[in-house]
Chains A and B, each alone.
Chain A
């Protein structure tokens, strides 16, 4: 047990390190000069340049800078933003909450909607209509559906604010936009799993006990259908992180997406690295949760 946990944690650390290193190399290879990035629109004289190089230790070899970065990161110090001239931890700390809110709300909408669709639309035309609608949700890019939702519910009907982050009302449209494609994919996977489970002999046995079709579905088949859906948790994390960047742009929401775009555009390396490591950490955590969820759902996977 302890061995398994230790192996898990070690693997997670390796993933984080690999993600940070890959991002570091990519940014090194990118065009643009760090000093330019730090100066930004400020005064540009040779004296100031020399001062910056000395202050940020930019004259040392790349490998030393890299190792120094890793050491500081391991201690929890993510460095200072070139652009904002403030500690990265602070910058991210301010912006993380709206993004987490958006991601969680979208995940809840996606999962709940998928469950409702898969369980309630089982037969005949309802099923066909639902399947078609889901396929459309999956194949529509979020920025497009976001714009459509905005123009209908904010501009025309005025039910929701157009932009910004003013509480729950402002969260609704972005979360729905991000949640819909998730619901589309998950509901198809769940429906497929339910179909297969209901064909199994144990479903016949359950019916032969006098259970209603709904009870067979909820008490027996649903649990079996959850297994393939849990496999998609990793994919879900990717969609949420990648999607948040775009959605925050479309809806003019503050959050990590805005920060990331700005940082990438201006070569603000410390911020980009921190975002990458943060995303990798989210992946590691979610995948671990998925593995635990398997054990919780399917007793056959538990070792006695």
Chain B
């Protein structure tokens, strides 16, 4: 269906030009599922978008051979591309909340494909839209078609996005990180849906940074790094004995690695008893209790809406509990005036999911980290501890990669020598390979400083790799807790088991 020889994509940005794809060759055959795997910036998305002529207005695309459906696309005019898009190849992007037009109903978005390609007549289209939504297992399609993306849950939204990509009856589905923004259980459902589409005859091109996500679906894997395909082959062979060191690194990241705690936990750092938080007529946290000791990493797991972020806010003293208490370093921390809390705030730090929005974009790294240090102190040693050299001191947040930014966030958090760091989804926005490095760093800081970490995540895999103990939250309540190994091996609650089943895992057969 697709044949590409020596594809090169260059972006012109003012005077500079950046080579995003440097000579990539591959083909996709009918009925196949091919996965393009690599970290952000590897050129995988640009490659995929080039296949439908959407690499972007600044992109210059060249290739020795470039055929789609047997036709040479290098001679394509804009019209030819438009006929191909939606009809021969459908594109599914990451987050349906922003990938569907938020100002239009889901039905209008799907109808647009039908109208653009003149499929069916006007009166017939609402029925077709319902059929499409039904095919991707959206319940009550008539009602859902009239709703806007923000009125749907993450899973339903993503299904609607897939339905819109299917509307033109394309032979090829290109899915660019189709599950990355979703909770684990929803991610598993969407992967099942994609597998189903494949069974009905559609050819799939999956793009992901996570080998584990695609390994169950893909027949073949193409591993991309720095704009080149460094390794390709059928999935089983690649997983069994990957030749390229980068592929091995990806496999290691996807398999996960347990970071054991060697030291005994010390005195109690933070303690929450019988926390309850009510917003209006909704109780978002019910009877929450927790103790964190020095040198401990405690995991808090739950899906979006489970109440885990509210717990973080309560522990951090950003909002007061409706009832119950938070104690920090032996003294009362909840229900006291902010003025009384301020002197101990330095001992409690936060690492957020997206450091880009947690940093002042006009501040340099020197200033960001320096702010957390005593006046006049040199930020260099702290930066060195998180693995960044002095050359990063004068950079701005946007000049750093996601992983580097998270390192700066960690540097800022450890600078005041806190006794507890609350990490709210600290690695969810990062590629799996970078996740592993950041987890290593956090584990080392715990070991060296004895800092306690409260690790909040929807990703059980991450918790399994780093936490000593875990609490599972569901509907505002802790449904299960205990040492990580015990919970993971003998989950008592059905919700925990459902979460565990949803974790994408690599089945390496060697």
**Complex interface bits, B73-114 against A, C-beta within 8 A gives 1, otherwise 0:** 000001000111111011101110011111111000000110
Residues 191-241 of A contacting B (Cβ, < 8 Å): 200-202, 204-213, 215, 219-220, 223-224
Q: When the two chains form their complex, are residues B164 and A220 in contact, meaning their CB atoms are under 8 A apart? A: no
Q: A206-B112, A300-B150 are in contact. Are A201 and B95 (CB under 8 A)?
A: yes
Verify if B148 is at the interface (C-beta below 8 Å from A): yes
How many chain B residues touch A (Cβ–Cβ < 8 Å)? 36
Q: When the two chains form their complex, are residues A223 and B103 in contact, meaning their CB atoms are under 8 A apart? A: yes
Cβ contacts A to B, 28 pairs, < 8 Å? A201-B95, A201-B98, A201-B99, A204-B49, A204-B93, A205-B91, A205-B93, A205-B164, A207-B85, A208-B52, A208-B54, A208-B86, A208-B89, A208-B90, A208-B165, A209-B168, A210-B83, A210-B113, A210-B117, A212-B78, A212-B82, A220-B101, A220-B104, A297-B103, A298-B103, A299-B103, A300-B103, A304-B151
Which has the most chain B C-beta neighbours within 10 Å: A200, A204, A208, A219? A208
Q: A208-B90, A210-B82, A210-B84 are in contact. Are A300 and B102 (CB under 8 A)?
A: yes
Q: When the two chains form their complex, are residues B100 and A202 in contact, meaning their CB atoms are under 8 A apart? A: yes
Return the chain A residue nearest B93 by Cβ: A201
A219 neighbours in B (Cβ, 8 Å):
112
CA distance A94 to B100 in the complex (A): 52
Q: A201-B93, A210-B85, A220-B101 are in contact. List 20 more A-B contacts (CB 8 A).
A: A202-B98, A204-B93, A205-B93, A205-B101, A206-B101, A207-B54, A208-B52, A208-B165, A209-B113, A209-B164, A210-B82, A210-B83, A210-B86, A210-B117, A220-B104, A299-B103, A300-B102, A300-B103, A300-B148, A300-B150
CA distance A206 to B161 in the complex (A): 11
Verify if B116 is at the interface (C-beta below 8 Å from A): yes
Cβ of A201 to closest chain B Cβ, rounded Å: 4
CA distance A148 to B343 in the complex (A): 66
B148 neighbours in A (Cβ, 8 Å):
299-300
Q: When the two chains form their complex, are residues A202 and B52 in contact, meaning their CB atoms are under 8 A apart? A: no
CA distance A200 to B150 in the complex (A): 16
A223 neighbours in B (Cβ, 8 Å):
103
Cβ of A197 to closest chain B Cβ, rounded Å: 9
B113 neighbours in A (Cβ, 8 Å):
209-210
A299 neighbours in B (Cβ, 8 Å):
102-103, 105, 148, 150
Return the chain B residue nearest A302 by Cβ: B148
CA distance A204 to B96 in the complex (A): 12
Q: When the two chains form their complex, are residues A202 and B101 in contact, meaning their CB atoms are under 8 A apart? A: yes
Binding site for A on B (CB under 8 A): 49, 52, 54, 78, 82-87, 89-91, 93-95, 98-105, 112-113, 116-117, 148, 150-151, 161, 164-165, 167-168
Residues 249-284 of A contacting B (Cβ, < 8 Å): none
Return the chain B residue nearest A203 by Cβ: B101
Return the chain B residue nearest A199 by Cβ: B56
CA distance A141 to B100 in the complex (A): 43
B87 neighbours in A (Cβ, 8 Å):
210
CA distance A223 to B102 in the complex (A): 10
Q: When the two chains form their complex, are residues A208 and B85 in contact, meaning their CB atoms are under 8 A apart? A: yes
B117 neighbours in A (Cβ, 8 Å):
210
CA distance A299 to B49 in the complex (A): 30
Cβ of A298 to closest chain B Cβ, rounded Å: 6
Cβ of B104 to closest chain A Cβ, rounded Å: 8
Cβ of A174 to closest chain B Cβ, rounded Å: 36
Cβ of A20 to closest chain B Cβ, rounded Å: 40
CA distance A211 to B100 in the complex (A): 14
Contact residue among B103, B161, B168 (Cβ-Cβ distance under 8 Å from A224):
B103
Cβ of B485 to closest chain A Cβ, rounded Å: 40
Cβ of A170 to closest chain B Cβ, rounded Å: 41
CA distance A223 to B101 in the complex (A): 10
Cβ of B281 to closest chain A Cβ, rounded Å: 16
Q: A205-B99, A224-B103, A304-B151 are in contact. Are A211 and B82 (CB under 8 A)?
A: yes
CA distance A202 to B157 in the complex (A): 13
Cβ of A199 to closest chain B Cβ, rounded Å: 10
Cβ of B500 to closest chain A Cβ, rounded Å: 31
CA distance A207 to B101 in the complex (A): 12
9 shortest A-B CB distances, which residue pairs?
A208-B91, A209-B86, A210-B86, A210-B85, A201-B99, A202-B101, A210-B82, A299-B148, A209-B113
Q: When the two chains form their complex, are residues A204 and B54 in contact, meaning their CB atoms are under 8 A apart? A: yes
Residues 32-66 of A contacting B (Cβ, < 8 Å): none
Cβ of B32 to closest chain A Cβ, rounded Å: 20
Q: When the two chains form their complex, are residues B91 and A201 in contact, meaning their CB atoms are under 8 A apart? A: no
Which has the most chain A C-beta neighbours within 10 Å: B49, B52, B112, B150? B112
Q: When the two chains form their complex, are residues A209 and B95 in contact, meaning their CB atoms are under 8 A apart? A: no
Q: When the two chains form their complex, are residues A202 and B99 in contact, meaning their CB atoms are under 8 A apart? A: yes
Return the chain B residue nearest A208 by Cβ: B91
Return the chain B residue nearest A223 by Cβ: B103
B164 neighbours in A (Cβ, 8 Å):
205, 209
Return the chain B residue nearest A123 by Cβ: B57
CA distance A5 to B103 in the complex (A): 25
B78 neighbours in A (Cβ, 8 Å):
212-213
Q: When the two chains form their complex, are residues B94 and A201 in contact, meaning their CB atoms are under 8 A apart? A: yes
CA distance A239 to B357 in the complex (A): 37
Q: A224-B103, A299-B103 are in contact. Are A205 and B82 (CB under 8 A)?
A: no
Q: When the two chains form their complex, are residues B102 and A202 in contact, meaning their CB atoms are under 8 A apart? A: yes
A209 neighbours in B (Cβ, 8 Å):
85-86, 112-113, 116, 164, 167-168
Q: A204-B93, A299-B148 are in contact. Are A210 and B116 (CB under 8 A)?
A: yes
Q: When the two chains form their complex, are residues A211 and B112 in contact, meaning their CB atoms are under 8 A apart? A: yes
Q: When the two chains form their complex, are residues A205 and B116 in contact, meaning their CB atoms are under 8 A apart? A: no
B161 neighbours in A (Cβ, 8 Å):
205
Return the chain A residue nearest B101 by Cβ: A202
Contact residue among A205, A213, A224, A298 (Cβ-Cβ distance under 8 Å from B100):
A205
B116 neighbours in A (Cβ, 8 Å):
209-211, 215
CA distance A204 to B84 in the complex (A): 15
